[in-house]
Amino acid sequence: MQTHWVQAQLQKHFPDRTFEVETMSTQGDKILDVALSKIGDKGLFTKELETGMLNQEIDLAVHSLKDLPTNLPEGLVLGVVTERENPADALVVHPKHQDKQLETLPAGAVIGTSSLRRLAQLRHHYPHLAFKDVRGNLNTRLAKLDAGEYDALILAAAGLQRLDMAARIHQLIPPEISLHAVGQGALGIECRAEDQEVLDLLKALEHLPTAQRCYAERAFLRDLEGGCQVPIGVNTEIVDDRLTLTGIVASIDGQQIVRGAVTGAATEAEQLGTLLANDLRAKGATKILAEIFAEIQRP
């Protein structure tokens, strides 16, 4: 859906050009019986696409920006960031819980999520709930929910909106409860660094405020040396050209959380990300992350 949206946008801006879609599967699409955090996230949803670009088989790749590593292979760049959908996490409930919110679900209710970030934050706020891994595409996850395997799911609101499933959103989870993933809700289009023709075409799709917010978030994640499967959450907003970045690092059990925020010129987005990363390191983030990596790597 995301790729075809990009194709349609490029076609609208450049009606005399042809934009063909080449469908490819990635490791993350194929391995569905192992928790994402146990597979490792270095190019989990991107490696095959990046190989195709470096081999001149394809010219660009459309990613959910939250899945794109902050350090790209030599020769590839993040060409453009498109306008962001709502980056919030969303609660989707089984029909029997239509009268409930996240905070009123009964003790022991089973919540499905494949994200350690969501897991850590929700465990911190709602230790009485039970959490269970869930994999597969959106339709598969929703089918498991409706079949009664889960009482509720936590999903990205943006994915539900893009697939015309916004009606399934029961509650948008506020940032006070769950900060979203780096880049969540935005699309990142990757291409070859020297392909100026493609880079020029992609400029038509850039949304500067989204790009500035996401560059700050990605710098924060990169400087903490975290990956998209680590419990690192963010929230960004721009008001009067001033960007505020809020971030957390949490232990998987939700018992330890360090949090901070910085504000500065939106034009200095990456510097703000680095500044916040340094602040959270000083508050204990390095120790928490070391413990998380050790736990993830444990057989």
Report the pLDDT value the prediction gives residue 41, as an integer from 0 to 100.
52
**Range of 122's domain?**
89-172
Q: Are residues 226 and 296 in the same domain?
A: yes
Report the pLDDT value the prediction gives residue 192, as an integer from 0 to 100.
97
pTM of this structure: 0.89
User: What stretches in the chain show pLDDT beneath 50?
Assistant: 28-40, 42
Give phi and psi for 184, each to the nearest 5: -60, 135
Question: How many domains does the chain divide into?
Answer: 3
Q: Are residues 277 and 240 in the same domain?
A: yes
Report the pLDDT value the prediction gives residue 47, as an integer from 0 to 100.
84
Three-state DSSP state, 269: helix
Q: Flag whether 229 is in a domain.
A: yes
Q: Output the 3-class SS for 11-36.
A: HHHCCCCCCCCCCCCCHHHHCCCCCH
Paired tokens of 30: 């194929």
Report the pLDDT value the prediction gives residue 26, as an integer from 0 to 100.
59
Active-site option among 16, 33, 41, 67: 67
In the listed set 113, 148, 172, which residue is the last one of a domain according to the structure? 172
Q: In what order do the strands lie in the sheet with 60-64?
A: 60-64, 187-192, 76-81
Report the pLDDT value the prediction gives residue 25, as an integer from 0 to 100.
67
CA–CA gap between residue 279 and residue 167 (Å, rounded) = 39
Q: Are residues 64 and 102 in the same domain?
A: no
Report the pLDDT value the prediction gives residue 136, as an integer from 0 to 100.
87
Q: Flag whether 177 is in a domain.
A: no
Q: Are residues 201 and 267 in the same domain?
A: no
CA–CA gap between residue 251 and residue 120 (Å, rounded) = 6
CA–CA gap between residue 175 and residue 190 (Å, rounded) = 28
Give phi and psi for 177, each to the nearest 5: -100, -45
Q: Flag whether 278 is in a domain.
A: yes
Q: Is 67 a catalytic residue?
A: yes
Of 112, 110, 117, 235, residue with least CA distance to 174: 235
Q: Flag whether 179 is in a domain.
A: no
Q: Are 292 and 230 in contact (CB under 8 A)?
A: yes
Q: Are residues 164 and 280 in the same domain?
A: no
Q: Are residues 194 and 68 in the same domain?
A: yes
Report the pLDDT value the prediction gives residue 198, as an integer from 0 to 100.
97
CA–CA gap between residue 280 and residue 27 (Å, rounded) = 32
